[in-house]
Chain A
């Protein structure tokens, strides 16, 4: 099924949650509202004509430009984007699902944004969400084991954010 058809299929039950579609991109994508993620994920997996049983990857991208001059030229407002790569082994079709989050919850620096977890739909998400939390600082509500995974437990900050500054030292070890 092509992405346009999938979009039409989703627009029926979830018309208020769909926010974007791009079929011209290299990997065509559908953008949805973050709060609809678990419902739509479950729908995508369970409907027999969609059957997206395989979650490849969860990626988070930080759209933020620390340089004020460059930021003025940027085409986007600062935000964090989550990208889910899905495919169906039965129907052999692929889909990229996107959702936008604020960089900070309520725009208060330090308050991590929240998004519902899809780990109950695809188990792959369990560790991938932990990684996104660790490196990008997104809280997945409903993931029961949201600990840091690659960085040590007492690490401060989320390294893949564009405004991240490497600490001077870590437990007496010079870090930069």
Chain B
């Protein structure tokens, strides 16, 4: 009937498309796990985006109420499974804070070595997968090749390649095997030139810059308001790092170390090494800056590892041993945030005089980062959504707990 008339009447000024609701995820390669995003789109423009989480919810907090802290340690591995060492550290330090316990200096330096290696490995995954999100496959293979070497080092020290349970309440499970430190140094030497290669294919690549610079700008005020932390917060130009600004029990691990907190100050970064320049299109707080901060942090972590190896080698004594499985917890509450690769990871434990805590709370940085996705994606193109979600580097194991 009116079909032909409809075509006649629809002149170019009246070409309107209906709003379309698109479901992205939970099984979508560029949502980094089981994040589900519901996009309300008008043509290519995203007018609204609603994240749905919980597909990986495993009741970690409830499980914590039924296990002693040492039994809970393997569950902490499975929060941010790309940086399990840092998760172990957060849990171990929180319980140590409750117990009023302090580990030996040697143990502290060993913990620093493995945590910073894991930070490098996590940032490598972030960088590689980010390239993959934007259609560049090569850096993914390079970063995973390098990560493999770190996993081999971890396998040598604790036997596991993903879920380590290595840093434990009271120390670490075993001292580094003979020759391990030398292997770490060899890895660092081999890895140094790779960073420049990654800068060549990603950071300073013009397609990469066009896809990320000026996309998803998170202002410093918004970043703080939403509780962002880690590279996301520092990418917005807020120099805040728990390794420097955290509570003494954690910051002591980095006392006497020389490293920079990477955050742009008036649009420029500390230039202690030669890095690619900031492109003119980039705005502080955009996806490019978040990526850049991660890349520069890798260099800082390498510096810390080198210093830690030196300090560790000069220390005598032992590296501590795990507390008794059914050790009674004192009454009290202890909350501690540590600087995990993705951001500030907080644990809380409430002891009630029995070996099993009354309550365990896990505060995840990715949880806060996922909550800014609607804010960042509003009004941008559909193709920008993976570019923004990838730059936030969320891990769903940590969001859903």
Residues of A within 8 A of B (CB): 25-27, 53-57, 59, 61-62, 83, 85, 89, 92, 94, 96, 122-124, 126-127, 131, 135, 148-152, 159-160
Contacts and interface: CB of A to CB of B under 8 A. Distances in A.
A27 B333 contact: yes
Contact of A26 (B59, B98, B359): B98
Nearest to A98: B333
A52 B160 CA distance: 41
A36 to B, nearest CB: 22
B220 to A, nearest CB: 10
A148 to B, nearest CB: 8
Contacts of A96: 335
Given A27-B333, A96-B335, A127-B367, A159 B226 contact: no
Given A92-B245, A135-B61, A151-B54, A54 B358 contact: no
A85 B54 contact: no
Contacts of B394: none
A61 B335 CA distance: 13
Contacts of B335: 27, 57, 85, 96
Given A89-B240, A92-B245, A123-B226, A25 B332 contact: yes
16 contacts: A25-B333, A26-B98, A26-B334, A56-B344, A57-B335, A57-B346, A59-B359, A89-B238, A123-B222, A124-B371, A127-B370, A127-B371, A135-B61, A149-B53, A150-B53, A150-B400
A55 B54 contact: no
B324 to A, nearest CB: 21
Majority SS at the chain B contact face: mixed
Interface residues of B, number: 36
Contacts of B361: 57, 59
Contacts of A61: 350, 358-359
A56 B346 contact: yes
- List 8 tightest A-B contacts by C-beta distance, closest first: A124-B227, A57-B363, A150-B54, A127-B371, A150-B57, A59-B361, A123-B225, A123-B226
B337 A56 contact: yes
Nearest to A121: B225
A57 B61 CA distance: 14
B334 A56 contact: no
Contacts, number: 78
Nearest to B58: A150
Contacts of A62: 359
A96 B336 CA distance: 12
Among B53, B240, B363, chain A packs the most CB atoms within 10 A around the CB of B363
A55 B222 CA distance: 12
Given A149-B53, A159-B59, A56 B363 contact: yes
Contacts of A94: 247
A123 B400 CA distance: 19
Given A56-B227, A59-B361, A92-B245, A85 B346 contact: yes
A151 B247 CA distance: 33
Nearest to A45: B225
Interface in B143-180: none
B242 to A, nearest CB: 11
Contacts of A25: 332-333
Nearest to B98: A26
A119 B224 CA distance: 14
B381 interface: no
A55 B333 CA distance: 18
Contacts of A160: 61-62
